[in-house]
Amino acid sequence: MYNFDVEKPGTIAEAAAAMGADEAQALGGGQTLIPTLKQRLASPSTLVSLRGVAEMQGITRDGDSLRIGGATTHAAVAADGSYPALSALAAHIGDPAVRNRGTIGGSLANNDPAACYPAAALASGATIVTNTREIAADDYFQGMFETALDEGEIITAVRFPIPQAAHYEKFVQPASRFALVGVFVAKFADGVRVAVTGASNEGVHRWAEAEAALSADFSAGAIDGLSVSADNLIADLHGSAAYRAHLVKVMTGRAVSAAS
């Protein structure tokens, strides 16, 4: 580690002002940032802790919409239950230590290609709320570790439409507990959305062919005739591109069967 300053703002306005400093970095739960600092892969001069910003904490439901503060922990999302598929997803992120420290805003800002929340946000058609604007999930995710966030922009909340039926199915990489492949399926009145994480070199993405098939027939059998191309899928010591392509279809079928 090395020397750096730590700011602890109490409001969103104070956090935004602190992020205006040269080489400032937002700190949510620190589950990615702290190991990165230890390995000297990042060297911000100031860390802006968001854990004390009350405006960014908590979960509220308004009809068929759920608002989750950006500094809300995975454990809090898991315990809430207003959106059962999202709560189940959060309950299986990492281990208890990670769930009690990590935050939904931090996960979405980092946009790890194998993280779980990006699949939920994209499949749900969520809206990412920042200190300056609102960004539709379809516009927010822009590639591996890439998002639409500008320098110094902070995720203050995430709004999730609650679907008629949904489920997240994850094939766990046992060492990291990230998704080797994860698929979130969400059924709305106007159609089905399917988001895949862990599989692609481009990060989280939608599977359009499955969405069309499942919108016409919401059953696991609807995707039997579909195939997933291995082109541009991740290939590493944990699984080949072809293996991940196979898992995308299997996890999608399981998610549809379990959706409620």
DSSP, res 149:
P
| pLDDT (0 to 100) of residue 29 | 83
pLDDT-derived band at 43, boundaries 50, 70, 90: confident
In contact, 69 and 57? CB cutoff 8 Å:
yes
Query: Is pLDDT above 70 for 2?
Result: no
pLDDT at 11: 97
Helix spans in 160-234 (H): 208-216
Query: Which is nearest to 156 in space by CA: 131, 181, 178, 175?
Result: 131
pLDDT of 162 above 90: yes
pLDDT computed for residue 1 by the predictor: 58
**pLDDT of 50:** 94
- Tell me if residue 70 falls in helix, strand or coil: coil
Q: What is the pTM of this model?
A: 0.95
Phi then psi for residue 7, to 5 deg, are: -105, 140
Tokens of 40: 């000297």
Q: Are 153 and 132 in contact (CB under 8 A)?
A: yes
Looking at per-residue confidence, does 120 or 41 come out higher?
120
Question: Structurally, what CATH architecture does the domain formed by 54-161 represent?
Answer: 2-Layer Sandwich (3.30)
**What distance in Å separates the CA atoms of residue 165 and residue 86, rounded to the nearest whole number?**
11
Please, what CATH class does the domain formed by 5-49 belong to? alpha beta
Domain residue spans in the chain?
5-49, 54-161, 165-258
Residue 22 pLDDT: 83
* Chain centre distance of CA 99: 13
Q: How confident is the model at residue 97 (pLDDT cuts 50, 70, 90)?
A: very high
Mean pLDDT of the chain: 94
Q: Are the C-beta atoms of 15 and 9 separated by less than 8 Å? A: yes
d(CA 177, CA 95): 8
CATH number attached to the domain at 165-258 = 3.30.390.50
